[in-house]
Chain A
Amino acid sequence: MTRIDISLNGKPHQIESGLTVDALLQQLELDPRKVAVERNLEITPRSDYGAVQIKAGDQLEIVHFVGGG
């Protein structure tokens, strides 16, 4: 299976080609309702997770709420 290089939360990361955002979150064991995803500086709406395919070179940020002031 072909693997592609992406940037994930600021670090180099390899994933299978053809993965959707939804599939990546599943692989990472993250609940899609509790995170937000930014792809190449654009927010990916939650409703699009199943449709958006991750491409080589994509910069992904996955964030959530943590304790803060």
Chain B
Amino acid sequence: MDTGASQAEDTPLTLAGRIFNSRLIIGTGKYKTYKQNARALAVSGAEIITVAVRRVNLSDVSQPRLVAFIDPDSVTFLPNPAACFTGEDAVRTLRLAREAGGWDMVKLEVLSDPRHLYPDMIETLRATEMLVKDGFDVMVYCSDDPVYARRLEEAGACAIMPLGAPIGSGLGIQNPVNIRLIVEGANVPVIVDAGVGTASDAAVGMELGCDGILMNTAIAQAQDPICMARAMKHAVIAGRNAYLAGRMAKKRYADPSSPLAGLI
């Protein structure tokens, strides 16, 4: 019986047993100020932000601090080693992050070549194993390779995060076929991490069945980051609903929406 109600029901994003109502994760780099960043965060509705771990600038300790603008008690900080090129460096940095923050969920990112910032997947897999052994919940930035995605899941990753396009490029999802294959094969959340440039890119990722989108530059470097944060919030929700709804089949020819019967 058709009750007219929506049949599609969603469950919230669950990462390592933690429940999140927003499927958008935003970064904290490249904003003009931390204040602007905090405002974008509020507008985006995101509940998780990525943060980097760096040496304290001891020559000027009065510099603005991220934690003065975004409260780690109300938003989940997801530490990212960032700019590490070996598994050991990434693990060392994330251990410090755990000590600084006091929580176990981290983003692993082991890079290869500064020109494209693709992940070094051999190092990434090795570092995932080390971190899982050490009790971390590891969300892994990875290539859009369904085989490696499976290997990462077997190694204990709590989320698979394939790139949509090179970090900071804003080119949109370059290989939707692979993203879909990863989604279909995964038993842990799949989150597109990197490559989104505008709202439609985020919607495309969600329509492919991804569990979330992680983005930084698309919001931070928009002409109006606050407005783009709002756009991304709606794009992720729209894409998710479109995925749950199940899109119509594509047809090769036109099919009129109005009945032909009764035409005068």
Chain A residues in the interface with B (C-beta under 8 A): 8-10, 28-30, 34-38, 41, 43, 45-46, 61-69
Question: Does the CB pair B52–A67 fall under 8 Å?
Answer: yes
Alpha-carbon gap, A41 to B66, bound state (A): 25
Alpha-carbon gap, A64 to B55, bound state (A): 6
In the complex, what residues of B have CB within 8 A of residue A66's CB? 28, 51-54, 66
Tell me how far the C-beta of A68 lies from the nearest C-beta in chain B, rounded to whole angstroms: 3
Q: Which stretch in B92-100, B150-158, B250-258 binds the other chain? A: B92-100
Alpha-carbon gap, A61 to B194, bound state (A): 30
- CB of B216 within 8 Å of the partner chain: yes
Question: Does the CB pair A46–B99 fall under 8 Å?
Answer: yes
In the complex, what residues of B have CB within 8 A of residue A10's CB? 55
Tell me how far the C-beta of B123 lies from the nearest C-beta in chain A, rounded to whole angstroms: 19
In the complex, what residues of B have CB within 8 A of residue A68's CB? 27-29, 50-52, 54, 80, 82, 216
In the complex, what residues of A have CB within 8 A of residue B217's CB? 69
Question: Does the CB pair B50–A69 fall under 8 Å?
Answer: yes
In the complex, what residues of B have CB within 8 A of residue A45's CB? 99
- CB of B65 within 8 Å of the partner chain: yes
Tell me how far the C-beta of A46 lies from the nearest C-beta in chain B, rounded to whole angstroms: 7
Alpha-carbon gap, A13 to B203, bound state (A): 51
Tell me whether A65 and B30 are in contact in the complex, defined as CB-CB below 8 angstroms, given that A9-B56, A28-B58 are known contacts.
Answer: no
Count of interface residues, chain B, beta-carbon cutoff 8 Å? 37
Question: Does the CB pair B80–A36 fall under 8 Å?
Answer: no
Extra inter-chain contacts (8) besides given A65-B100, A68-B50, CB under 8 Å: A9-B55, A9-B58, A64-B67, A65-B101, A67-B29, A68-B80, A69-B29, A69-B52
Chain B residues in the interface with A (C-beta under 8 A): 27-31, 34, 37, 50-56, 58, 61, 65-67, 72, 77, 79-80, 82, 92-93, 95-97, 99-101, 167-168, 194, 216-217
Alpha-carbon gap, A29 to B58, bound state (A): 9
Q: Which of A30, A36, A38, A67 contacts B51 (CB 8 A)?
A: A67
Question: Does the CB pair A63–B58 fall under 8 Å?
Answer: no
* A/B interface sample: 9 pairs, CB < 8 A: A8-B58, A38-B96, A61-B55, A63-B100, A65-B67, A65-B72, A66-B54, A68-B28, A68-B29
Alpha-carbon gap, A38 to B56, bound state (A): 12
In the complex, what residues of B have CB within 8 A of residue A41's CB? 92
